[in-house]
Amino acid sequence: MNPKYEAAFKPFTFRSGVEIKNRITMAPMTNTAAHENGEVSDEEVAYYQERAGGVGAVITACTYVTRNGKGFPGEFGADSDSLIPSLKRVATAIQEKGSKAILQIFHGGRMCPPEELLDGQPIAPSAVAAERDDAVVPREMTADEIDEIIKAFGEATRRAIEAGYDGVEIHGANTYLIQQFFSPHSNRRTDKWGGTLEKRMSFPLAVVDAVKKAVSDHAAKPFIIGYRLSPEERENPGITMEDTLQLVDKLADQDLDYLHISVGGFWKGSIRDDNDQTSRVVMIQERVGNRVPVMGVGMLRTADEVMKAFETGVPLIALGRELIMEPQWVQKVQAGEEDKIRTTLSKKDQKELAISDKIWEYYTSIPGWLPIV
């Protein structure tokens, strides 16, 4: 291995005590390959197994904590004890290759497609539709429903523990339910769950508390708790960077293992102000300092690009689309073969990359998401 890359491959120990063998993780990415009943498929297990082994940890695609939170066709579930064996298949496939397994837990809220829900009715903090084509108006959640979903995040965490995972990542990003409670666009409530910035933080922090309690009650060994967030929204009103920095301050006091910053590119600036092009990841890293580790992500493909990101002080880097194209990214860098790393996707490599036809169809249906040759 080229000595200039060595820093990326030093072990990292989380606050919880879990150690990963290097500072590179696999980012969570939807693949729509699960069965309709929420169980993982053989091709999904193979897909994860192919990408485990090199990275320190694999963060799975999001899994719904209640059935009315299913955000995608082919999403696997964590809403029932009957799904623990299914969850375990993914954890085992990842761990057998030598990486830690982190389950991302989620509720889609108003972003759930009606056709994926049993009653066809998405729910959200308020009856405000998303600003997108064909968005439906969600039903405003009752106080009891809010309490039930908070508890469901705790129950999903318990199932992750029983299935043998090394941790969970709370999905508070990408416009889904947890972010919807934080957003002044989707949360117009006037009760204890909304109305002020402080109250809009209540649901995310309550979910963190429920997850922490589940870990305290059920985990017999150290267990990772991460939190993913998106720094800004385009909508007006919408989440601003100043809002997010206030939330980050609160999260930094929660004894979390990491904050994962979900942005389109590691160096991406504001999506609200074209004149502010300071990296959102770097801003959050500077805000939290050493209070909580930050995981950066976004359009990093080569070893040199990853090392440039590490130079900002961010201690962890997640690779997403790059690991779809090159599952052996870590191994090739360690072997001094970084010149052999794929940075494009070709149909002829599909089988070698353990990408089933269903996963291939989904990934290639998103315009411009992957560089296909």
Whether 371 maps to a domain, the answer reads no
Mean pLDDT over each residue of the chain, to the nearest integer: 98
Q: What is the pLDDT of residue 332?
A: 98
Question: Number of folded domains in the chain?
Answer: 1
For 170-222, the pLDDT digits (tens) are: 999 999 999 999 999 999 999 999 999 999 999 999 999 999 999 999 999 99
Count the neighbouring beta carbons within 10 Å of the beta carbon of residue 342. 19
- Are the C-beta atoms of residues 21 and 14 closer than 8 Å to each other? no
- Are the C-beta atoms of residues 104 and 169 closer than 8 Å to each other? yes
Whether 354 maps to a domain, the answer reads yes
For 218-234, the pLDDT digits (tens) are: 999 999 999 999 999 99
Whether 372 maps to a domain, the answer reads no
For 11-25, the pLDDT digits (tens) are: 999 999 999 999 999
> What is the percentage of the chain residues whose pLDDT exceeds 90?
100
For 249-302, the pLDDT digits (tens) are: 999 999 999 999 999 999 999 999 999 999 999 999 999 999 999 999 999 999
> What is the percentage of the chain residues whose pLDDT exceeds 70?
100
Helix (H) and strand (E) counts in the chain: 12, 12
Whether 370 maps to a domain, the answer reads no
For 90-114, the pLDDT digits (tens) are: 999 999 999 999 999 999 999 999 9
Whether 373 maps to a domain, the answer reads no
For 310-360, the pLDDT digits (tens) are: 999 999 999 999 999 999 999 999 999 999 999 999 999 999 999 999 999
How large is the average pLDDT for residues 56-71? 99
- Catalytic residue at 362? no
What domain range includes position 336? 3-364
Query: Which secondary-structure segment (H or E) carries 304?
Result: helix 303-310
Whether 369 maps to a domain, the answer reads no
Beta-carbon contacts of 242 under 8 Å, excluding residues fewer than 6 positions away, are none
CB-based burial label for 216 (10 Å; 0-12, 13-18, 19+): exposed
Q: What is the pLDDT of residue 218?
A: 99
* CA 89/CA 42 separation, integer angstroms: 9
For 353-372, the pLDDT digits (tens) are: 999 999 999 999 999 999 99
Whether 222 maps to a domain, the answer reads yes
- Are the C-beta atoms of residues 187 and 193 closer than 8 Å to each other? yes
Is the N-terminal amide bond of 237 cis, ω within 30° of 0? yes
Q: What is the pLDDT of residue 356?
A: 97
Place of tokens 């910053």: 261
**Which among 176, 227, 258, 362 is annotated as catalytic?**
176
Domain at 87, CATH number: 3.20.20.70
- Smallest Cα–Cα separation from 304: which of 286, 322, 279, 282? 322
* CA 67/CA 58 separation, integer angstroms: 24
- pTM of structure: 0.98
